Structure 1
Amino acid sequence: MTGDAGLQPERTRLAWRRTLLTLTAVLLLQLRPAFTGRVVDAVLAGAAVVIWLVVLAADWRRATGSGPRRLARLSMPLTALGAVGLALLGVAHVLGRVH
């Protein structure tokens, strides 16, 4: 593979930003049904917000180097679990619409 090895941290940082941007878009899609007036939709949207905030906090600490190293090492697994959690909440939204 060709390229400047010095650019690898920048590419990694941009990849993390794209991942967070994608999760933010998914979160916004999850929030839309919350305004239907159904309590279950509001609860699912609230759970999506909590998942997104946990992923954001872990990734922020990894990117900035603040906080415990242990949390920085957990940012990738937390992001993966957060993505799966948001996907499952999306499925729950869809299944809640089908009667």
Structure 2
Amino acid sequence: MKRPGQPAVRDPGLQPERTRLAWRRTTLACAVVAVLAERPALYGTLYGRGSAPRIAAAVLVALALAGFLWVAHGRIRALAAPRPPVLRPRTAAAAVGCAVALAVFGVALVR
């Protein structure tokens, strides 16, 4: 029990582990989306039907996935600490930006 004048002791329990697993699931889902989005571009390129815009979109999908993996890996490593730091707004914005870019470039490839 907390006594008056003492700082509260935080017991995170399993919350950091659940959050770390959620980041891993999201990373896996983004990788699957990237592979499925790039498949038409790469298939067309292998059989001579590829075009420069489709190849450029495939490269942008790969870059967006790499950016998301970089952000997610950093967050997963941070959550392994005994007292994980709070997610910074800049990191959250980078993750959202990569996910949105992945979706936009994926739609451009599928069309």
TM bucket by the smaller chain?
0.7 to 0.9
Deviation readout 1:12-65 (Å, 9 max, x if unpaired): 001111110110011101211222122211110100000111111122122223
Q: Number of aligned pairs? A: 86
1:20 alignment partner, one of 2, 27, 31: 27
**Structure 1 ranges of 4+ moved more than 2 A:** 72-76
Larger % of helix: which? 1
Tell me which of 72, 76, 83 is aligned to 1:63: 76
Contact residue 38 and residue 109 of structure 2 kept, 8 A: no
Residue 5 of structure 1: how far off its partner (Å):
4.8
Identity of aligned residues (%): 40
CA distance in 1: counterparts of 2:20 and 2:61, whole angstroms: 24
- Structure 1: runs of 5+ lacking an equivalent: 66-71
Q: Which residue of 1 aligns with 2:102?
A: 86
Calculate the TM-score normalised by the size of structure 2: 0.68
Q: Which has the higher contact order (CA 8 A, sep 6+)?
A: 2
The gaps in structure 2 that reach 5 residues or longer are: 1-10, 45-49, 79-86
Q: Which structure has the larger Rg?
A: 2
Separation in structure 1 between the aligned mates of residue 35 and residue 91 of structure 2, nearest angstrom: 21
Whole-angstrom CA distance in 2 between matches of 1:94 and 1:58: 26
Indicate the residue corresponding to 1:38 in structure 2: 51
- Whole-Å Cα distance in 2 between the matches of residues 90 and 62 of structure 1? 24
TM-score by length of 1: 0.75
Aligned partner letter, 1:45: A
